[in-house]
Amino acid sequence: MTFYDRYCELCRGRNMKPHSRATTDLLGISNGSVTVWKNGTLPKAETLDRLSRFFGVTVDYLICGSDKDEIPLDSEMQEFLQLMASRSEMRTLFRASKNATKEDIEIASNLIDSLVNRSRK
C-alpha cells in the first residue's frame, strides 16, 4: 500500500473525499498535491506532520504503513529526520540525491565537506 492509498483510506474513514475542495481546504493542501501523491511522490515533512496530527496516526504510518514502534530509529536517523523537518535545504539535498549513484553521493559529500571546511577557516 502506498502513501496515497493510506491517505485515501484515512479520508474514507472520516467520510471525506481525498480530492474534494472541502478536504484539501481543511487539510491545508492543494488538489494538485493530492494528484502528485497519487503518482508516487511523498508530501513535504510539514504536510506529513499536519496529516498525521489530523488523522491521529504517526508519520511512520503515513509513509510506511506501520507504527513507529515497528520501525526502530536510532539516534542518528532521528537527528536526520529532525533536520529534514526543520531545514528545507536538507530536503532539497535529499530529493536531489534520490536517483544518484553511490559514487555520485560520495563526490557530493566530499564537495560539501570541502565547502564546510573552507567556510570555517
Locate the domains of the chain by residue range: 3-70, 87-120
Report which residue type is found at 19. H
Sequence-separated (6 or more) residues with CB below 8 Å from residue 13:
none
pLDDT at 71: 46
The x, y and z cell numbers of residue 75, run together, are 539516534
Can you tell me whether residue 90 is helix, strand or coil? helix
CATH topology of domain 3-70: 434 Repressor (Amino-terminal Domain) (1.10.260)
The x, y and z cell numbers of residue 67, run together, are 507504527
Given a cut of 70, the residues of the chain with pLDDT beneath it are 67-74, 121
pLDDT at 98: 80
Its pTM surpasses 0.85: no
Sequence-separated (6 or more) residues with CB below 8 Å from residue 71:
60, 64
